[in-house]
Amino acid sequence: MLLVNQIREDYAGVVAGLQKRNFHNAPAILDQVIALDDLRKSTQSQRDQIQAEANTISKQIGVLMKEGRAEEAVAIRERTSQIKEQIKELEAHYAQAEEDLKALLYTIPNVPHTSVPKGKSAEDNEVVLEHGTIPVLFEGKLPHWELIKKHDIIDFDLGVKITGAGFPVYKGKGARLQRALINFFLDEALAAGYTEIQPPILVNEDSGYGTGQLPDKEGQMYFATADQLYLIPTAEVPITNLYRDVILSEEDLPIKNVGYTPCFRREAGSWGAHVRGLNRLHQFDKVEVVQITHPDRSYDTLESMSGYVQGLLQKLELPYRVLRLCGGDMGFTSALTYDMEVYSAGQERWLEVSSVSNFETYQANRLKLRFKGEDKKTQLAHTLNGSALALPRIVASILENNQTLDGIRMPKVLWPYLGFDSI
């Protein structure tokens, strides 16, 4: 969440940034934030003044008792009882103001980086670069949902039978392709200096608030009501929360973690041709990279992470493009996001396969994730994460782009993991 000092010190800049997100009621909400912060501070000041009076009276009572002036001491003690009630009341007011302030801050998205373009939707995103050649396929090419039936490698009907729509069953070479991609992505991350983490795939409410899934996305998350736990939408949530309420040393930075997990998303309100087949699922596999870094180096880190994901796509021989998301298409918690999209020749359209984001201090402020510098002062770290990579649309693109009249050629980099070169 935003820092109150940030709002106070750069009010105009925060308003301008939030307007890039089409958050047009920003001035009214920011004024409420400042008013609540003023109320909190004034309440604390009153409480401190009365506490100081109580301390003075306590000393006076001690002096009077030593001097044998017990009646005067008893008379003054009556005032201390009144003060205790006043302090109790002020502390309750302070706690309420603090809670109201936090609840309001939770409703405000992150302020976009200055490089983020204005815009309302995906149509306004900025293409940063394109790489690779879009394949020209033979007449009669098939989309992946037809290819998987033809080769019997993924079964949506069995998934519906077992669970419901959006929960496919991977079979034979389809299952081996999934496993090969996961192992390839993990090995590449380890070679790039990431430490592998295998986190829980259920998280508590505090973890959801820590990384910003709550209260913004609760409607998109599966919730185990009996235990008050959420199924994770991405490994970002448990891995970043490893560092909740932690004070790091500057020498610990950067921290680089990678984790493979299944991911669960309700995708409420999604329909149409763009969600067909593997394009949008309720359960899917993903390898996620997470970094915690010094604020001075976070944007260099973002560029490095973007380059790393692009390297994976190049090794998979997939044509891709990089987009800088506009204010209206960015995630709630992000300050700057690059989306990587691969071209899917069977569908003749671009498919998003990765988002790489810098959250600056937005998540760290919620998490109370800090580090201590050389001056021994603590400050908030910056957090970043990225998909490296999400499997469903990668699989869809591999199947579609590499189809031939004789079968589907697999990218060479996967051969050692697969044990076969084609389907």
CATH code for the domain of 163: 3.30.930.10
Q: Quick check: is 227 in a domain?
A: yes
Look at residue 217 in the predicted model and tell me its pLDDT: 82
In the chain, the number of structural domains is 2
Q: Quick check: is 113 in a domain?
A: no
Q: Quick check: is 68 in a domain?
A: yes
Neighbours of 329 (CB within 10 A): 19
Q: Is 266 annotated as a binding residue?
A: yes
Please answer whether residues 230 and 238 qualify as being in contact, where contact means their C-beta atoms are separated by less than 8 angstroms: no
Q: Is 354 annotated as a binding residue?
A: yes
Q: Is 341 annotated as a binding residue?
A: no
Last residue of a domain, one of 77, 105, 133: 105
Q: Quick check: is 117 in a domain?
A: no
Same domain, 47 and 128: no
What is the Cα–Cα distance from 262 to 126, expressed in whole angstroms?
30
Query: What's the first-to-final CA gap in the chain, in angstroms?
Result: 48
Q: Quick check: is 114 in a domain?
A: no
Place of tokens 């009996």: 226
Q: Is 183 annotated as a binding residue?
A: no
Same domain, 241 and 95: no
Q: What is the DSSP letter of 326?
A: P
Q: Quick check: is 308 in a domain?
A: yes
Look at residue 374 in the predicted model and tell me its pLDDT: 84
Same domain, 126 and 44: no
Q: Whole-prediction pTM value?
A: 0.91
Same domain, 190 and 149: yes
Same domain, 140 and 94: no
Same domain, 191 and 307: yes
Q: What is the DSSP letter of 389?
A: E
Look at residue 402 in the predicted model and tell me its pLDDT: 97
pLDDT along the chain (423 residues), means of 10: 96 96 95 97 93 82 77 72 87 95 96 96 96 94 97 97 97 98 98 98 97 89 96 98 97 97 83 77 97 98 98 98 97 97 96 98 98 92 98 98 96 98 97
CA angle 10, 12, 13 (to 5 degrees): 65
Look at residue 273 in the predicted model and tell me its pLDDT: 54
Same domain, 132 and 59: no
Question: Hey, which bits of 79-232 come out as E strands?
Answer: 126-131, 154-155, 169-170, 195-196, 202-203, 223-224, 229-231
Q: Is 370 annotated as a binding residue?
A: no
Look at residue 271 in the predicted model and tell me its pLDDT: 56
For 44-61, b/e burial (b = at least 16 CB within 10 A) is bebbeebeeebeebeebb
Q: Is 265 annotated as a binding residue?
A: yes
Q: Quick check: is 242 in a domain?
A: yes
Q: Is 321 annotated as a binding residue?
A: no
* 88: containing domain: 4-105
Please answer whether residues 378 and 389 qualify as being in contact, where contact means their C-beta atoms are separated by less than 8 angstroms: no
Q: Is 236 annotated as a binding residue?
A: no
Q: Is 334 annotated as a binding residue?
A: no
Same domain, 58 and 170: no
Q: Is 267 annotated as a binding residue?
A: yes
